[in-house]
Structure 1
Amino acid sequence: MPLSGPRAERERPGRQDDQESRVSSHPSTGADLTTDRLVLRPWSAGELAAVLADVRPAHWAEDFPAEGDRFIAGYLTENPQALNAYGHRQIIERAGGVVVGSIGLFWPPTDGILEVGYGIVPSRRGRGYASEATRVLAEFALTAPGVHTVHAQVELSNPASVRVLEKAGLRRWSSDANMVRFRMTAGDLNRR
């Protein structure tokens, strides 16, 4: 699934309610985010280099990286400040340690608002991974100082991505003829 949001148009390179997220230390940027089925791990310099060099480690799904992941690897290589605790991550299946996609927040926030984008490789779609990853990353982002909203926008012609955001707990807040916009706020978390 392609990355979603306004930056996706310019920069194209996705937890369920009963799952608890856990945060663990990661040497490069500070935090892995963990759900029952997934680990969201910050990219390392070596992993970015492997994507750009078309080298495929054995722990990557056969169709990873996708085009969007290649774009993000280039973006992160050129903008290392985006590799922060609230930045971009690989989506990894906990059961086998296989990288199946990527997700990220476009840092820094603008007026307290961060944009989320995600992508799952075709071989792993339909399993709820994009929603699970989006939910845990959005909730984590809302703990960042000065962040009060995480948003995404998707084309109405992409109903799968619309459903991802709905299942992740983001609320639809506006739309036009082509796009629908979703958001999760700190207040949404307080109401749960």
Structure 2
Amino acid sequence: MPEHTTEPAGPTADLRTERLLLRSWTPEVAAAVLAGARGTGWADDFPADGDRVIAGLLAREPGGPGWGRHGHRLLVERSSGLVVGGAGMFPEPGGPGLEIGYGVVPSRRGRGYAGEAAAALVGLARADGVSRVVAGVDPGNPASVRVLIGLGMRHIGTVDGVERYLLA
């Protein structure tokens, strides 16, 4: 897993990896994504569909778990300063752990950013004493399956057509 560090300030401080900053969403970014506005510092193909879904979830739950330390983060490419995707964790539905999710815009896929971001989030969760991390992936997304396996997750079954993975 790539090394990561957490900046010293506050519960939603940036996570820094070799090539990314994982920065907490702000209400302004969520509103801009929902409005279809273009933010400065966004890759040309940000937001992707998944980012619009996350913005909608965040807007429906102000102050909810998506905003906290284990909430959703923007992936900022350190070399360009552009937002190139999102990643986050949220409470596991009906379970004791956290569920991880991530997405990278098409122009930046294939660079290992999803795995780098996911490893940083898992590291944060572990540092905070979280012992169970789960994920769901569409069976038609082998790149995402590779990310989960790279994290050390194991396949635990299929629920409603979604492949489920566990890191315990």
Q: Which residue of 2 aligns with 1:125?
A: 109
**Aligned-partner Cα distance in 1 for 2:52–2:9:** 22
**Aligned-partner Cα distance in 2 for 1:139–1:114:** 12
Kept in 2: contact 1:153–1:182 (CA 8 A): yes
Paired residue for 2:58, among 57, 73, 76? 76
Cα 1:26–1:51 change in 2 (3 A) is: farther
Secondary structure of the structure 2 residue equivalent to 1:47: helix
Q: TM-score, normalised by structure 2?
A: 0.88
State the Cα distance separating 1:142 from its structure 2 match: 2.3
Cα 1:26–1:180 change in 2 (3 A) is: same
Secondary structure of the structure 2 residue equivalent to 1:142: helix
Q: Deviations over 1:88-116 (max 9, x none)?
A: 00011011111000011113775431111
Q: Which residue of 1 aligns with 2:47?
A: 65
Q: Which moved more, 1:62-71 or 1:108-117?
A: 108-117
Kept in 2: contact 1:172–1:180 (CA 8 A): no
> How many residues of Structure 1 are paired with residues of Structure 2 in the alignment?
165
Paired residue for 1:42, among 24, 32, 55? 24
Paired residue for 1:134, among 118, 126, 141? 118
Secondary structure of the structure 2 residue equivalent to 1:97: coil
Residue 182 in structure 1 maps to residue 165 in structure 2: yes
**Aligned-partner Cα distance in 2 for 1:40–1:148:** 21
Q: Which residue of 1 aligns with 2:4?
A: 21
**Aligned-partner Cα distance in 2 for 1:176–1:48:** 31
Kept in 2: contact 1:138–1:184 (CA 8 A): no
Unaligned stretches of 5+ in structure 1?
Answer: 1-16, 186-192
State the Cα distance separating 1:58 from its structure 2 match: 2.7
Kept in 2: contact 1:173–1:181 (CA 8 A): yes
State the Cα distance separating 1:61 from its structure 2 match: 0.6
Q: TM-score, normalised by structure 1?
A: 0.78
Q: Which has the higher contact order (CA 8 A, sep 6+)?
A: 1
Kept in 1: contact 2:92–2:99 (CA 8 A): no
Q: Which residue of 1 aligns with 2:87?
A: 103
